Structure 1
Amino acid sequence: MVGTHDARHAEQVYSTLRNPASAAKSAVAASWSRSLTKYGLDPEQDQPPHQLSHAEFRVALERVEPLVRLAQNTLDRLFQSVGEAGCCVLLTDRDGVPLDRRGVPGDDADFRASGLWTGMVWSEASEGTNGVGTCLAEGRALTIHRDQHFLTRNIGLSCTVAPIWDEKGAIIAALDVSTCRADLTMPVLKVVAAAACDAAQKIEARHFREMYRHARVLLCPDVGRGAGGMIAVDREDLVIGANRAARIAYGLTDERLAHPFPADDLLLGEEEVPCESLTGAERGAVQRALSRTDGNVSAAARLLGISRATMHRKIARLGLSRPN
């Protein structure tokens, strides 16, 4: 828990920002600069974080309630990994408001006093440099450790946070693991950060699948950009959606995705896309129908909306093996 205000921290902030080159050399200094010049914050201000009213909190929760609901198991598993180390787990919305949390009851008094509680506002505009707010402002996973915070009253905290992206490639939430303990070393925080990123990616992937639950989701080759690339395709194997990693890897935009196109064009490339024919498409449709009915010709014919006799003629014409 943060103790009395430390004037030395405020002086460190001002001293760093007096050098115009600092913001260009350090991501923390760049955030400090935003906190001071863009948001007009004072590192020594001691007001507690702003807290939403009950009505405001309900509105914020309802906006992303499906995401919060599907994240429950992942939040539980993450907390089981980090809770005994004195950490709490927070799932925030895109505005930096924790909507759900996990914490050891014995630590709750410190966490509540520090503002690490549901309904508090941890945007960078409100709290200056902090794990949640700066992660959302910069769109990347990061750790803000103790005196890297902008406000003096937050320098007792260590926060590691990962963004969660929605099905259209925009930030929808953030996953934060925070501690008030002073004995957590940077190597330990790196392990915590890896666990937080992995959990955030699981929530993101599950959210994407839920948003395209009526489509088929394909995993793209590893593109080294956080969560694996995922694309959604319809029954005709046309691409109808892509997560952020896939959008970056393949240069996909909302405009491109507004007009569905063959998945092979994306995954194989123009030079490798096989030549298509109506016969080939017909053969595939007949084979899929037979597969789904375990070779029952009558049932397969009903799936295709044709007669049993027509189905037998197609099997013969396409050179397919007759089912037993």
Structure 2
Amino acid sequence: MIASLMGTFFIYSTAPYYSLIWGAVLSSCLYINPILSQNPRCRTACGSIPINYPFGIDDGCGSPYYRHLLLCRESGTLELWTPSGRYPVRNISYSDPHIILTDPFMWNCQDMDDFRPTRAFSLDTSVRLSLSPQNEYLFFNCSDSDVIVEPKPIFCERFPDKCDSSCDSASYLCRHLPECASALRESSCCAYYPKVTESLRMMLKHCSSYTSVYWRNLGMSQYDQVAEYGIRVDFDIPVTTLCLQCQEPLKGGGTCGFDTQTENFLCLCDEKNVTSYCKDRSTSGHSRTSIIAVAGTVTAVTAAGAIGVGAGIWFFKKVRAKAPVTCGVQTNDNRLF
């Protein structure tokens, strides 16, 4: 069995200009000289999808951590850029921070037993995005001589230390494909959770195709879920005291943004950009009568409650930790059977 491949699932780093270190964030919060944003306006929606902090579809809006990631087409279609391509965004949730993507290359019900060439989905390590543990991945027509295709309960009883290596042919989703339970007539299916892009690529070398299914929450209970096709990508909402002050209605209700040259924090106001908040009389700003700023509040935490915490404190969404999983591909030299 090939050794475990550690890392975050589907992560592939290729864009060094996205990379920002913690010190750069602190310096942006302490930056005090007002600089004119190069962005003419901050749109708050793309089609029917709301665009709030930390995202922006206009340069200079939102957080620089997510700069150049979202593209709004003239048709109103929102797309997310990753190292593996451009993917349509189905929706964005800010209360439970995640993005739902669709991948037209993945298998769908209409394909049935006709498997098209596919590609491995990947994310960039330098941005604050991660594949959600609520995703499950189904592989079709995998080679028995190269991939361990076994019912997981039986395999785990025999090989508990190598349990994660098997592609589960007894998966609930394989037996109850969402929307099309009987779509596969002559093809095999198994469920597997590779941890890194290379593991996925190795699986796809020996399987005809794959698809991603995520569990959508219907209520407060973790058991109140329904399986749907798509890729759930989780994100963090970086919030500093300055950003909360900027968005506070009593302080002017500005929009959190950044200078497009330095990526230092800016509060985008109706007539000027400042480095504190719109009604701060002690801070001068550059005129920006052509700039339309709309507040994009993303948290119920008030600025007054956050000031005591101090600038530079981040609120991250807790993501469930999962144990590393091996890639599941075997060769003639390391086969278990």
Kindly indicate whether structure 1 or structure 2 has the higher relative contact order, using CA contacts under 8 Å at least 6 residues apart.
2
Higher helix share: 1
